[in-house]
Amino acid sequence: MAVTELPSTTRPNQMKKVSLLPLIFLIFYEVSGGPFGSEDAVQAAGPLLTLLGFIIFPFIWSVPEAMITAEMGTMFPENSGYVVWVSSALGPYWGFQQGWMKWLSGVIDNALYPVLFLDYLKSAVPEVSSGLPRVFAILGLTIFLTLLNYRGLTIVGFVAVFLGVFSLIPFVVMGFISIPKLKPSRWVEVDLHDVDWNLYLNTLFWNLNYWDSISTLVGEVENPKKTLPKGLFFALILVVLGYLFPLLVGTGAVPVNREAWSDGYYSDIAMIIGGVWLRWWLQAAAAVSNMGLFVAEMSSDSFMLLGMAERGMLPKFFTKRSRYGTPIIGILFSASGVILLSWLSFEEIVAAENFLYCFGMILEFIAFILLKIKKPNAPRPYKVPGGKIGAIVMCIPPTILICFVLYFSSIKVMVISFIALVIGLVMQPCLKFVEKKKWVKFSVSPDLPDLDNGEGTQTLVQ
């Protein structure tokens, strides 16, 4: 692969940027990608709590996170995203910790999609359910999707549009076919004495978070000060409807067997409702959906590493772009992490990435509130209403939710996550030492604004 370093000063003129429609579907895939993976919520809590969860949870978590992303993303329209938010409010040390936790969380999350891809195919192709065929399938899929990311973000964006439409259409068809079979009484089935709260909360959280991930691509977006808030708004509607409609169909048209509701169960529902043809269509939709999730997440993770390098937090070689404008080193690092973590189970992956993601979100909430207090007059093309008090009040419900998610985490997940956190705490001083010794070159892009006053430049690694 030919690699050419493209300075940020020339990049906007040489590479086409992402417009509104691809942005909507990139956000859709950063967060959701459709209802695939939501099945475990029904297994954990039954139809009523699942439906209520996907109605109430967006107001507790998704809306606040999307609004914070819109304000902070337009305030800092660069590829370091939430890293620069935290750096501006708390300093470069904590900005680096934010980048480490979010990158690791994203890589763990991305390791899930090849697993889900094969889970939907294993009923049709049993050979990929275990053993060497599964290992080679995961490896081959990861390499193919990594090459797609290498080819360019605009291509990834338009691929996301195609994949999104293709993956949602079979659910619309399934909904129309299921109308005569719907029994609304099934939607209110609940047994509060038989709820796996850990699985339930982790599934909701995993399916409805990551709204801030698009912030690490803002530097690649066309007119982000206007496009980003619009993209988040329309994506929010698309995501919520993309969960609720299939859940209403699946739980209302088929007798609820909670034990059967696990990864890939929507294809079984399609078989019951429409027959083999609909099952095959939905399995294909699930497969391409996981492809979309993978490429969107990898784009976010790799561009974040590039953005951190432009801020002087990582070695300069992370700023190198391919001739397609993509961050080649960031892509290779992210792909390597995915391959190393792909052996984990679905439940372990979801719980581990949620745990790390929670810590990152706490830093984001703190940064959001502090910047409201410290820099009330800084330019904010999109502003969350309510001022300082409104910012604090808005962050309280999702913070409480974070506490519940952390409380219900297993000991194994806690231990692994704390080890990862400690690695980040040590890594930043080590990188500063390496820079001081001049073993590796660090630099700050002259195009980036000073985090103190929005003018000039500032080195974050001193």
CA distance 323 to 320: 10
Stronger pLDDT, 139 or 461, i.e. the higher one: 139
CA distance 447 to 9: 7
- Domain locations in the chain as residue ranges: 14-436
Residue-wise pLDDT for 286-301, tens only, equals: 888 888 888 888 999 9
CA distance 66 to 85: 15
Look at the alpha carbons of 172, 174, 178, 182 in this order and tell me if their dihedral is positive or negative: negative
Residue-wise pLDDT for 358-380, tens only, equals: 889 999 999 999 999 999 888 89
The pLDDT of residue 96: 95
User: 5 pLDDT exceeds 60?
Assistant: no
Determine phi and psi for 106, rounding to 5 degrees. Answer: -65, -40
pTM of the predicted structure, to 2 decimals:
0.86
Q: For residue 245, give the amino acid letter.
A: F
Helix axes 346-374, 92-110, angle to 10 degrees: 150
User: 205 pLDDT exceeds 50?
Assistant: yes
Angle of CA points 66, 287, 109, to nearest 5°? 45
User: 266 pLDDT exceeds 70?
Assistant: yes
The pLDDT of residue 455: 36
The pLDDT of residue 349: 65
Stronger pLDDT, 342 or 16, i.e. the higher one: 16
CA distance 150 to 326: 6
The pLDDT of residue 89: 94
- What is the third-level CATH fold of 14-436? Amino acid/polyamine transporter I (1.20.1740)
**Beta strand extents in 161-240 (DSSP E only):** none
Residue-wise pLDDT for 317-362, tens only, equals: 999 998 888 899 999 988 888 887 766 666 666 667 778 888 899 9
User: 123 pLDDT exceeds 80?
Assistant: no
Per-residue 3-state assignment (H helix, E strand, C coil) for 114-128: HHHHHHHHCCCCHHH
CA distance 382 to 369: 15
Spell out the alpha helix ranges (H) of 311-386. Answer: 328-341, 346-374
Q: For residue 388, give the amino acid letter.
A: K
The pLDDT of residue 274: 92
Q: For residue 167, give the amino acid letter.
A: S
Determine phi and psi for 311, rounding to 5 degrees. Answer: -90, 5
The pLDDT of residue 15: 64
The pLDDT of residue 10: 39
362 neighbors 101 (Cβ within 8 angstroms) = no
pLDDT category, 2, cuts 50, 70, 90? Answer: very low
Name the least confident of 28-42, 137-151, 304-318.
Answer: 137-151
Whose tokens are 């001049």? That residue is 438
Helix (H, G, I), strand (E, B) or coil at 441: coil
The pLDDT of residue 457: 33
Name the least confident of 191-200, 217-226, 298-307, 401-410.
Answer: 401-410
